[in-house]
Copies of this chain bind each other. A is one copy, B any other.
């Protein structure tokens, strides 16, 4: 029933929620009232509902947040060093879950979109995650690779070859395979338990080649990996102190 909320619907009326969830209004009304009482939803003056502050705080306790907080400084460095948009993704089922995305230049206020889910077979970060994932996953994902652009590679044999190459050289690319006019480059982030994320760079085709950015990219990935392994302890203590005090 919470699934009624998504990126395009951050504020919904009761009837909308009921319709989108396939529930009778009376039932939805009761549920929504309960969720509001629990502060998981909040009611706005115009009788629309949106995600509440408690839900936000709970979401902050999820693993992606810790990863994001740790990686953010290095993402900033990477953006400054390369001038391109950087993003960090983790494996989430059959998708790459974008944990953070930082826009390229300050003047171009392209917003990032944490929470987005990208396909695994036609994005650079997705390919990295897929290459290092258990074979069972690629078996599943490569059954029917969806086509996004005319450049999307849907040939299973070719994709398998790509994954093998990625494992060997540690770098993945995607040239307009997901969105026209956008190329990307990605490398794995090695944490305490294997590859825990993929760090990637996006650039329009018109910009200078991405090849020269492999160095900074790998350096940033290594730094993030090291921070994840080394910073575990202090980080936990930190959040205990800072978020620990619950309110009514």
Contacts and interface: CB of A to CB of B under 8 A. Distances in A.
Contacts of A51: 58-59, 61-63
A56 B65 contact: yes
B64 A56 contact: yes
A168 interface: no
A53 B54 CA distance: 16
A217 to B, nearest CB: 20
Q: How large is the interface on A (under 10, 10 to 19, 20 to 34, 35 or more residues)?
A: 35 or more
A244 interface: yes
B94 A247 contact: yes
Interface in A190-248: 235-236, 238-248
A115 B55 CA distance: 11
The dominant DSSP class at the A interface is: mixed
Given A8-B240, A63-B50, A239-B7, A56 B245 contact: no
| Chain copies in complex | 2
Given A56-B62, A58-B59, A242 B7 contact: yes
A55 B59 contact: yes
A24 interface: no
A112 B247 contact: no
B73 A62 contact: no
A143 interface: no
Nearest to A77: B106
A4 to B, nearest CB: 11
A66 B65 CA distance: 16
Contact of A62 (B52, B66, B69, B93): B52
A130 interface: no
27 contacts: A2-B58, A6-B244, A7-B239, A7-B242, A7-B244, A8-B240, A10-B61, A10-B239, A42-B63, A51-B58, A53-B62, A53-B97, A55-B55, A55-B58, A56-B62, A56-B63, A56-B64, A57-B59, A60-B115, A73-B109, A93-B247, A94-B247, A95-B247, A113-B238, A115-B243, A116-B245, A117-B245
Given A10-B239, A53-B62, A73-B106, 16 more contacts: A2-B40, A5-B58, A6-B61, A8-B240, A8-B243, A10-B61, A42-B63, A55-B62, A56-B59, A56-B62, A59-B59, A60-B114, A60-B115, A61-B115, A93-B247, A94-B248
